[in-house]
Structure 1
Protein backbone atom coordinates (compact mmCIF):
# COMPACT_ATOMS: atom_id res chain seq x y z
CA UNK A 1 0.00 0.00 0.00
CA UNK A 2 1.34 3.43 -0.94
CA UNK A 3 2.05 5.76 1.95
CA UNK A 4 1.70 9.54 1.94
CA UNK A 5 5.47 9.71 1.49
CA UNK A 6 5.25 7.44 -1.57
CA UNK A 7 2.50 9.56 -3.09
CA UNK A 8 4.42 12.76 -2.46
CA UNK A 9 7.55 11.29 -4.09
CA UNK A 10 5.54 10.09 -7.10
CA UNK A 11 3.89 13.49 -7.46
CA UNK A 12 7.16 15.38 -7.23
CA UNK A 13 8.92 13.06 -9.68
CA UNK A 14 6.03 13.44 -12.13
CA UNK A 15 6.04 17.21 -11.73
CA UNK A 16 9.81 17.42 -12.06
CA UNK A 17 9.59 15.58 -15.38
CA UNK A 18 6.77 17.84 -16.49
CA UNK A 19 8.70 20.98 -15.64
CA UNK A 20 11.87 19.65 -17.19
CA UNK A 21 10.78 18.74 -20.71
CA UNK A 22 8.57 20.20 -23.37
CA UNK A 23 7.61 16.72 -24.59
CA UNK A 24 5.39 16.34 -21.54
CA UNK A 25 2.75 18.43 -23.28
CA UNK A 26 2.00 15.37 -25.40
CA UNK A 27 0.69 13.78 -22.21
CA UNK A 28 -2.11 16.32 -22.05
CA UNK A 29 -4.10 14.03 -24.34
CA UNK A 30 -4.27 11.48 -21.53
CA UNK A 31 -6.83 13.68 -19.86
CA UNK A 32 -9.32 13.58 -22.73
CA UNK A 33 -12.27 11.22 -23.07
CA UNK A 34 -15.39 10.72 -25.12
CA UNK A 35 -17.46 12.00 -22.19
CA UNK A 36 -16.50 15.59 -22.96
CA UNK A 37 -16.75 17.95 -25.89
CA UNK A 38 -13.05 18.75 -25.51
CA UNK A 39 -11.10 17.70 -28.66
CA UNK A 40 -9.06 14.58 -27.84
CA UNK A 41 -5.27 14.77 -28.15
CA UNK A 42 -5.41 18.51 -28.76
CA UNK A 43 -5.93 20.36 -25.52
CA UNK A 44 -6.36 19.80 -21.80
CA UNK A 45 -10.01 19.57 -20.68
CA UNK A 46 -10.15 23.17 -19.52
CA UNK A 47 -13.92 23.62 -19.22
CA UNK A 48 -14.45 20.45 -17.17
CA UNK A 49 -11.56 21.43 -14.90
CA UNK A 50 -12.87 24.96 -14.40
CA UNK A 51 -16.34 23.66 -13.59
CA UNK A 52 -14.74 21.23 -11.15
CA UNK A 53 -13.11 24.19 -9.41
CA UNK A 54 -16.30 26.28 -9.36
CA UNK A 55 -18.35 23.43 -7.91
CA UNK A 56 -15.70 22.84 -5.25
CA UNK A 57 -15.65 26.48 -4.13
CA UNK A 58 -19.41 27.09 -4.39
CA UNK A 59 -21.39 23.81 -4.62
CA UNK A 60 -24.76 23.94 -6.35
CA UNK A 61 -27.32 21.69 -8.02
CA UNK A 62 -25.18 20.98 -11.10
CA UNK A 63 -23.69 17.68 -12.26
CA UNK A 64 -20.18 18.61 -11.11
CA UNK A 65 -21.36 19.25 -7.56
CA UNK A 66 -23.27 15.97 -7.47
CA UNK A 67 -20.19 14.12 -8.76
CA UNK A 68 -18.10 15.46 -5.87
CA UNK A 69 -20.72 14.41 -3.32
CA UNK A 70 -21.34 17.94 -2.02
CA UNK A 71 -24.29 19.69 -3.66
CA UNK A 72 -27.24 21.96 -2.85
CA UNK A 73 -30.76 22.37 -4.18
CA UNK A 74 -30.04 25.70 -5.90
CA UNK A 75 -27.54 27.04 -8.46
CA UNK A 76 -23.97 27.52 -7.29
CA UNK A 77 -20.67 28.30 -8.97
CA UNK A 78 -21.42 26.34 -12.15
CA UNK A 79 -23.85 28.70 -13.85
CA UNK A 80 -24.04 30.21 -17.37
CA UNK A 81 -21.10 32.46 -18.08
CA UNK A 82 -19.16 31.71 -14.90
CA UNK A 83 -16.70 29.23 -16.39
CA UNK A 84 -16.01 31.50 -19.36
CA UNK A 85 -15.37 34.40 -16.98
CA UNK A 86 -12.93 32.42 -14.84
CA UNK A 87 -11.10 31.08 -17.90
CA UNK A 88 -10.79 34.58 -19.33
CA UNK A 89 -9.53 35.94 -16.02
CA UNK A 90 -6.89 33.23 -15.66
CA UNK A 91 -5.75 33.71 -19.26
CA UNK A 92 -5.33 37.45 -18.73
CA UNK A 93 -3.83 37.22 -15.25
CA UNK A 94 -1.25 34.62 -16.24
CA UNK A 95 -0.26 35.75 -19.72
CA UNK A 96 3.24 34.26 -19.53
CA UNK A 97 4.48 30.65 -19.83
CA UNK A 98 3.45 28.90 -16.63
CA UNK A 99 6.08 26.20 -16.73
CA UNK A 100 9.26 28.23 -16.92
CA UNK A 101 12.13 27.49 -19.30
CA UNK A 102 10.78 24.12 -20.43
CA UNK A 103 9.34 25.73 -23.54
CA UNK A 104 5.76 24.90 -22.56
CA UNK A 105 3.56 27.90 -23.28
CA UNK A 106 -0.06 27.54 -22.17
CA UNK A 107 -2.67 30.18 -21.38
CA UNK A 108 -3.47 30.56 -17.70
CA UNK A 109 -6.64 28.46 -17.69
CA UNK A 110 -5.10 25.62 -19.71
CA UNK A 111 -1.97 25.63 -17.58
CA UNK A 112 -4.04 25.48 -14.40
CA UNK A 113 -6.05 22.60 -15.86
CA UNK A 114 -2.90 20.60 -16.61
CA UNK A 115 -1.55 21.22 -13.12
CA UNK A 116 -4.77 20.30 -11.30
CA UNK A 117 -5.28 17.15 -13.34
CA UNK A 118 -1.73 15.92 -12.73
CA UNK A 119 -2.26 16.23 -9.00
CA UNK A 120 -5.78 14.79 -9.26
CA UNK A 121 -4.54 11.55 -10.82
CA UNK A 122 -1.91 11.32 -8.10
CA UNK A 123 -4.58 11.69 -5.43
CA UNK A 124 -6.90 9.18 -7.11
CA UNK A 125 -5.72 7.33 -10.25
CA UNK A 126 -9.29 6.15 -10.87
CA UNK A 127 -10.34 9.77 -11.48
CA UNK A 128 -9.04 9.50 -15.04
CA UNK A 129 -11.94 7.18 -15.87
CA UNK A 130 -14.81 9.24 -14.44
CA UNK A 131 -17.75 10.83 -16.25
CA UNK A 132 -15.87 14.05 -17.01
CA UNK A 133 -12.80 14.50 -19.20
CA UNK A 134 -10.92 16.23 -16.38
CA UNK A 135 -9.74 13.93 -13.56
CA UNK A 136 -10.02 16.85 -11.14
CA UNK A 137 -13.74 17.19 -11.88
CA UNK A 138 -14.22 13.49 -11.12
CA UNK A 139 -12.81 13.72 -7.59
CA UNK A 140 -14.94 13.87 -4.48
CA UNK A 141 -14.98 17.12 -2.51
CA UNK A 142 -12.52 15.97 0.15
CA UNK A 143 -9.99 14.80 -2.43
CA UNK A 144 -10.25 18.10 -4.28
CA UNK A 145 -9.37 19.78 -0.99
CA UNK A 146 -6.38 17.44 -0.70
CA UNK A 147 -5.21 18.47 -4.18
CA UNK A 148 -5.36 22.15 -3.26
CA UNK A 149 -3.50 21.44 -0.01
CA UNK A 150 -0.73 19.69 -1.95
CA UNK A 151 -0.55 22.54 -4.44
CA UNK A 152 -0.42 25.10 -1.65
CA UNK A 153 2.39 23.39 0.25
CA UNK A 154 4.58 21.86 -2.47
CA UNK A 155 8.03 23.46 -2.02
CA UNK A 156 8.87 22.94 -5.71
CA UNK A 157 6.62 25.88 -6.58
CA UNK A 158 8.68 28.43 -4.65
CA UNK A 159 10.08 31.04 -7.02
CA UNK A 160 7.77 30.00 -9.87
CA UNK A 161 4.71 31.77 -11.25
CA UNK A 162 2.92 28.56 -10.28
CA UNK A 163 2.84 29.71 -6.65
CA UNK A 164 0.90 32.81 -7.63
CA UNK A 165 -1.43 30.81 -9.84
CA UNK A 166 -2.18 28.17 -7.20
CA UNK A 167 -3.03 30.79 -4.59
CA UNK A 168 -5.40 32.68 -6.89
CA UNK A 169 -7.42 29.79 -8.32
CA UNK A 170 -10.00 29.36 -5.50
CA UNK A 171 -10.14 33.11 -4.86
CA UNK A 172 -10.88 33.96 -8.48
CA UNK A 173 -13.44 31.13 -8.60
CA UNK A 174 -15.29 32.64 -5.65
CA UNK A 175 -15.25 36.08 -7.29
CA UNK A 176 -16.71 34.60 -10.48
CA UNK A 177 -19.40 32.65 -8.63
CA UNK A 178 -20.60 35.64 -6.61
CA UNK A 179 -20.33 38.16 -9.43
CA UNK A 180 -22.98 39.35 -11.90
CA UNK A 181 -21.48 37.36 -14.77
CA UNK A 182 -24.34 34.83 -14.89
CA UNK A 183 -26.69 37.60 -16.05
CA UNK A 184 -24.37 40.18 -17.57
CA UNK A 185 -24.33 41.39 -21.16
CA UNK A 186 -20.68 42.28 -21.84
CA UNK A 187 -21.52 44.13 -25.04
CA UNK A 188 -24.19 46.34 -23.47
CA UNK A 189 -22.49 46.34 -20.05
CA UNK A 190 -25.73 45.76 -18.21
CA UNK A 191 -27.45 42.95 -16.36
CA UNK A 192 -30.11 40.96 -18.20
CA UNK A 193 -31.76 39.55 -15.09
CA UNK A 194 -31.03 38.71 -11.50
CA UNK A 195 -27.53 37.15 -11.26
CA UNK A 196 -27.04 33.92 -9.35
CA UNK A 197 -24.40 35.65 -7.25
CA UNK A 198 -27.04 38.00 -5.87
CA UNK A 199 -29.15 35.05 -4.80
CA UNK A 200 -26.19 33.32 -3.18
CA UNK A 201 -25.31 36.44 -1.18
CA UNK A 202 -28.91 37.58 -0.54
CA UNK A 203 -28.11 40.87 -2.21
CA UNK A 204 -31.24 42.94 -2.82
CA UNK A 205 -29.80 44.66 -5.87
CA UNK A 206 -28.80 48.25 -6.68
CA UNK A 207 -30.82 51.07 -5.14
CA UNK A 208 -30.82 54.85 -4.97
CA UNK A 209 -31.33 54.61 -1.22
CA UNK A 210 -33.39 53.04 1.52
CA UNK A 211 -36.15 54.65 3.55
CA UNK A 212 -34.66 53.52 6.84
CA UNK A 213 -31.44 55.47 6.29
CA UNK A 214 -32.91 58.71 4.98
CA UNK A 215 -32.19 61.68 7.25
CA UNK A 216 -30.10 61.83 10.38
CA UNK A 217 -30.16 59.88 13.61
CA UNK A 218 -32.55 61.05 16.31
CA UNK A 219 -34.63 63.23 14.03
CA UNK A 220 -31.82 65.67 13.22
CA UNK A 221 -32.21 66.67 9.58
CA UNK A 222 -29.50 69.32 9.29
CA UNK A 223 -26.29 70.40 10.92
CA UNK A 224 -25.38 74.06 11.42
CA UNK A 225 -21.81 74.96 10.49
Structure 2
Protein backbone atom coordinates (compact mmCIF):
# COMPACT_ATOMS: atom_id res chain seq x y z
CA UNK A 1 0.00 0.00 0.00
CA UNK A 2 1.28 3.44 -0.90
CA UNK A 3 0.77 5.62 2.16
CA UNK A 4 1.49 8.86 0.33
CA UNK A 5 -1.80 10.14 -0.99
CA UNK A 6 -3.77 13.31 -1.50
CA UNK A 7 -6.94 12.10 0.23
CA UNK A 8 -8.99 12.46 -2.96
CA UNK A 9 -10.21 8.84 -3.15
CA UNK A 10 -13.66 7.97 -1.91
CA UNK A 11 -14.35 4.93 0.21
CA UNK A 12 -15.15 2.50 -2.61
CA UNK A 13 -12.14 3.59 -4.64
CA UNK A 14 -9.87 3.10 -1.64
CA UNK A 15 -11.19 -0.36 -0.85
CA UNK A 16 -11.14 -1.49 -4.46
CA UNK A 17 -7.59 -0.23 -4.95
CA UNK A 18 -6.28 -1.49 -1.64
CA UNK A 19 -7.91 -4.91 -1.65
CA UNK A 20 -6.81 -5.35 -5.25
CA UNK A 21 -3.15 -5.13 -4.23
CA UNK A 22 -1.09 -8.31 -4.13
CA UNK A 23 -0.25 -8.11 -0.44
CA UNK A 24 -3.85 -7.44 0.52
CA UNK A 25 -5.21 -10.25 -1.66
CA UNK A 26 -2.71 -12.65 -0.15
CA UNK A 27 -3.65 -11.57 3.37
CA UNK A 28 -7.37 -11.87 2.67
CA UNK A 29 -6.95 -15.31 1.16
CA UNK A 30 -4.86 -16.52 4.08
CA UNK A 31 -7.31 -15.08 6.58
CA UNK A 32 -10.28 -16.78 5.03
CA UNK A 33 -11.91 -13.53 3.92
CA UNK A 34 -13.07 -13.09 0.32
CA UNK A 35 -11.96 -10.17 -1.80
CA UNK A 36 -14.73 -8.13 -3.36
CA UNK A 37 -16.88 -10.28 -5.61
CA UNK A 38 -15.44 -13.59 -4.38
CA UNK A 39 -17.33 -16.39 -2.69
CA UNK A 40 -17.01 -16.59 1.11
CA UNK A 41 -14.27 -18.91 2.32
CA UNK A 42 -14.68 -21.36 5.16
CA UNK A 43 -11.82 -20.49 7.54
CA UNK A 44 -12.34 -17.72 10.07
CA UNK A 45 -9.71 -15.03 10.56
CA UNK A 46 -7.22 -15.65 13.42
CA UNK A 47 -9.01 -13.39 15.88
CA UNK A 48 -7.39 -14.55 19.13
CA UNK A 49 -3.83 -14.32 17.79
CA UNK A 50 -4.57 -10.82 16.47
CA UNK A 51 -6.08 -9.64 19.75
CA UNK A 52 -3.13 -11.06 21.67
CA UNK A 53 -0.88 -9.18 19.27
CA UNK A 54 -2.69 -5.98 20.21
CA UNK A 55 -2.62 -6.68 23.96
CA UNK A 56 1.10 -7.45 23.91
CA UNK A 57 1.74 -4.24 21.95
CA UNK A 58 -0.17 -2.07 24.42
CA UNK A 59 0.84 -3.84 27.66
CA UNK A 60 3.89 -6.06 27.08
CA UNK A 61 4.50 -8.96 29.45
CA UNK A 62 6.42 -12.23 29.65
CA UNK A 63 4.16 -14.01 27.15
CA UNK A 64 5.28 -15.41 23.75
CA UNK A 65 3.61 -12.57 21.84
CA UNK A 66 5.54 -9.92 23.75
CA UNK A 67 8.78 -11.85 23.47
CA UNK A 68 8.38 -12.29 19.71
CA UNK A 69 7.73 -8.57 19.13
CA UNK A 70 10.99 -7.73 20.90
CA UNK A 71 9.42 -5.72 23.73
CA UNK A 72 8.68 -7.82 26.83
CA UNK A 73 8.90 -7.77 30.62
CA UNK A 74 9.62 -10.35 33.31
CA UNK A 75 6.02 -10.50 34.58
CA UNK A 76 2.54 -11.08 33.11
CA UNK A 77 1.09 -8.31 30.95
CA UNK A 78 -1.97 -7.82 28.81
CA UNK A 79 -2.00 -11.29 27.24
CA UNK A 80 -4.24 -13.62 29.25
CA UNK A 81 -7.08 -15.81 27.95
CA UNK A 82 -9.77 -13.94 29.89
CA UNK A 83 -8.43 -10.51 28.93
CA UNK A 84 -8.39 -11.42 25.25
CA UNK A 85 -11.90 -12.87 25.47
CA UNK A 86 -13.15 -9.71 27.18
CA UNK A 87 -11.69 -7.46 24.49
CA UNK A 88 -13.19 -9.65 21.77
CA UNK A 89 -16.63 -9.45 23.39
CA UNK A 90 -16.33 -5.68 23.66
CA UNK A 91 -15.50 -5.35 19.96
CA UNK A 92 -18.27 -7.76 18.96
CA UNK A 93 -20.86 -5.75 20.88
CA UNK A 94 -19.58 -2.32 19.91
CA UNK A 95 -19.11 -3.12 16.21
CA UNK A 96 -22.12 -5.19 15.31
CA UNK A 97 -22.01 -4.04 11.67
CA UNK A 98 -19.35 -4.97 9.07
CA UNK A 99 -16.46 -2.53 9.02
CA UNK A 100 -16.58 -2.22 5.24
CA UNK A 101 -20.16 -3.22 4.56
CA UNK A 102 -20.33 -5.66 1.65
CA UNK A 103 -17.09 -4.50 0.09
CA UNK A 104 -13.87 -6.35 0.75
CA UNK A 105 -14.16 -7.16 4.47
CA UNK A 106 -17.77 -8.16 5.23
CA UNK A 107 -17.11 -8.95 8.88
CA UNK A 108 -18.16 -7.17 12.08
CA UNK A 109 -16.66 -6.99 15.55
CA UNK A 110 -13.38 -8.57 16.55
CA UNK A 111 -13.21 -10.55 13.29
CA UNK A 112 -13.43 -7.37 11.24
CA UNK A 113 -10.75 -5.72 13.36
CA UNK A 114 -8.52 -8.78 12.93
CA UNK A 115 -8.84 -8.65 9.15
CA UNK A 116 -8.13 -4.91 9.08
CA UNK A 117 -4.98 -5.19 11.22
CA UNK A 118 -3.68 -8.21 9.35
CA UNK A 119 -4.14 -6.63 5.93
CA UNK A 120 -2.04 -3.66 7.00
CA UNK A 121 0.43 -6.00 8.71
CA UNK A 122 0.99 -7.76 5.38
CA UNK A 123 1.84 -4.37 3.91
CA UNK A 124 4.18 -3.42 6.77
CA UNK A 125 6.01 -6.74 6.40
CA UNK A 126 5.15 -9.04 3.46
CA UNK A 127 6.82 -11.89 5.35
CA UNK A 128 4.62 -11.52 8.42
CA UNK A 129 2.52 -14.55 7.47
CA UNK A 130 5.53 -16.81 8.04
CA UNK A 131 5.92 -16.21 11.78
CA UNK A 132 4.97 -18.45 14.71
CA UNK A 133 1.43 -17.09 14.99
CA UNK A 134 -1.55 -17.44 12.68
CA UNK A 135 -2.08 -13.66 12.54
CA UNK A 136 0.40 -11.56 10.54
CA UNK A 137 -0.12 -8.66 12.95
CA UNK A 138 1.02 -10.81 15.89
CA UNK A 139 4.16 -11.73 13.93
CA UNK A 140 5.28 -8.10 13.55
CA UNK A 141 7.91 -6.57 15.78
CA UNK A 142 6.82 -3.79 18.11
CA UNK A 143 7.94 -0.98 15.79
CA UNK A 144 6.01 -2.36 12.82
CA UNK A 145 2.89 -2.78 14.94
CA UNK A 146 3.21 0.90 15.80
CA UNK A 147 3.57 1.65 12.08
CA UNK A 148 0.31 -0.19 11.33
CA UNK A 149 -1.52 1.89 13.92
CA UNK A 150 0.08 5.04 12.56
CA UNK A 151 -1.10 4.26 9.03
CA UNK A 152 -4.61 3.49 10.20
CA UNK A 153 -4.75 6.57 12.41
CA UNK A 154 -3.47 9.09 9.86
CA UNK A 155 -4.91 7.90 6.55
CA UNK A 156 -7.40 10.62 5.51
CA UNK A 157 -9.37 8.09 3.47
CA UNK A 158 -10.71 6.68 6.76
CA UNK A 159 -12.14 10.02 7.91
CA UNK A 160 -15.83 9.88 8.88
CA UNK A 161 -15.93 6.09 8.71
CA UNK A 162 -16.22 3.58 11.55
CA UNK A 163 -12.64 2.45 10.88
CA UNK A 164 -11.36 5.70 12.39
CA UNK A 165 -13.34 5.08 15.58
CA UNK A 166 -12.04 1.51 15.76
CA UNK A 167 -8.40 2.52 15.36
CA UNK A 168 -8.63 5.33 17.90
CA UNK A 169 -10.38 3.23 20.53
CA UNK A 170 -8.57 -0.11 20.17
CA UNK A 171 -5.39 0.71 22.19
CA UNK A 172 -7.52 2.33 24.90
CA UNK A 173 -9.84 -0.66 25.13
CA UNK A 174 -6.85 -3.01 25.22
CA UNK A 175 -5.23 -1.06 28.07
CA UNK A 176 -8.52 -0.91 29.97
CA UNK A 177 -8.97 -4.68 29.68
CA UNK A 178 -5.36 -5.39 30.70
CA UNK A 179 -5.53 -3.23 33.84
CA UNK A 180 -9.02 -4.37 34.86
CA UNK A 181 -10.06 -7.46 36.82
CA UNK A 182 -11.14 -9.53 33.80
CA UNK A 183 -8.00 -11.70 33.90
CA UNK A 184 -9.33 -13.29 37.11
CA UNK A 185 -13.05 -12.59 37.21
CA UNK A 186 -16.05 -14.94 37.24
CA UNK A 187 -18.84 -13.12 35.36
CA UNK A 188 -21.47 -15.55 36.66
CA UNK A 189 -20.59 -15.30 40.34
CA UNK A 190 -19.43 -11.69 39.79
CA UNK A 191 -16.33 -12.06 41.92
CA UNK A 192 -12.60 -12.44 41.42
CA UNK A 193 -11.16 -15.94 41.28
CA UNK A 194 -7.64 -14.89 42.16
CA UNK A 195 -5.42 -11.84 41.97
CA UNK A 196 -5.97 -10.09 38.62
CA UNK A 197 -2.91 -9.24 36.54
CA UNK A 198 -4.06 -5.62 36.42
CA UNK A 199 -3.67 -5.30 40.18
CA UNK A 200 -0.01 -6.26 39.95
CA UNK A 201 0.55 -4.00 36.94
CA UNK A 202 -0.85 -1.02 38.87
CA UNK A 203 0.56 -2.03 42.31
CA UNK A 204 -2.98 -2.12 43.68
CA UNK A 205 -3.13 -3.64 47.15
CA UNK A 206 -6.63 -4.99 46.64
CA UNK A 207 -10.00 -4.24 48.25
CA UNK A 208 -10.07 -3.25 51.91
CA UNK A 209 -12.65 -2.38 54.56
CA UNK A 210 -10.52 0.58 55.55
CA UNK A 211 -7.03 1.74 56.46
CA UNK A 212 -5.61 2.31 59.90
CA UNK A 213 -4.54 5.80 58.93
CA UNK A 214 -8.12 6.99 58.49
CA UNK A 215 -9.89 5.19 61.35
CA UNK A 216 -11.28 7.76 63.76
CA UNK A 217 -9.73 11.22 63.87
CA UNK A 218 -6.72 11.92 61.71
CA UNK A 219 -3.62 13.02 63.66
CA UNK A 220 -5.71 14.51 66.44
CA UNK A 221 -7.86 16.64 64.16
CA UNK A 222 -11.50 16.29 65.14
CA UNK A 223 -13.00 19.06 63.05
CA UNK A 224 -12.20 21.33 60.13
CA UNK A 225 -13.12 24.98 60.08
CA UNK A 226 -14.68 26.19 56.82
1:149 corresponds in structure 2 to: 150
Q: Is the 8 A contact 1:61 1:75 kept in 2?
A: yes
Q: Is the 8 A contact 2:99 2:107 kept in 1?
A: yes
Cα 1:207–1:14 change in 2 (3 A) is farther
Unaligned runs of 5+ in 1: 1-5, 33-39
CA distance in 1, matches of 2:69, 2:19: 32
Select between 212-221 and 180-189 the one with higher mean Cα deviation: 212-221
Q: Is the 8 A contact 1:93 1:108 kept in 2?
A: yes
Which of the pair is proportionally richer in helix? 1
Cα deviation per residue 1:153-189 (whole Å; 9 max; x = unaligned)? 0111111111111111110000111110111001100
2:139 corresponds in structure 1 to: 138
2:30 corresponds in structure 1 to: 30
SS at match of 1:8: coil
SS at match of 1:125: coil
1:59 aligned onto 2:54: no
2:99 corresponds in structure 1 to: 98
> Where do 1:1-225 residues align within 5 Å?
7-8=2-3, 16-17=15-16, 28-31=28-31, 41-100=42-101, 102=103, 104-222=105-223
Unaligned runs of 5+ in 2: 33-40
1:37 corresponds in structure 2 to: none
TM-score after normalising by structure 1: 0.83
- CA RMSD in angstroms comes to 2.9
Cα deviation for residue 223 of structure 1 reads 6.2
CA distance in 2, matches of 1:7, 1:103: 18
CA distance in 2, matches of 1:142, 1:201: 25
TM-score after normalising by structure 2: 0.83
SS at match of 1:7: coil
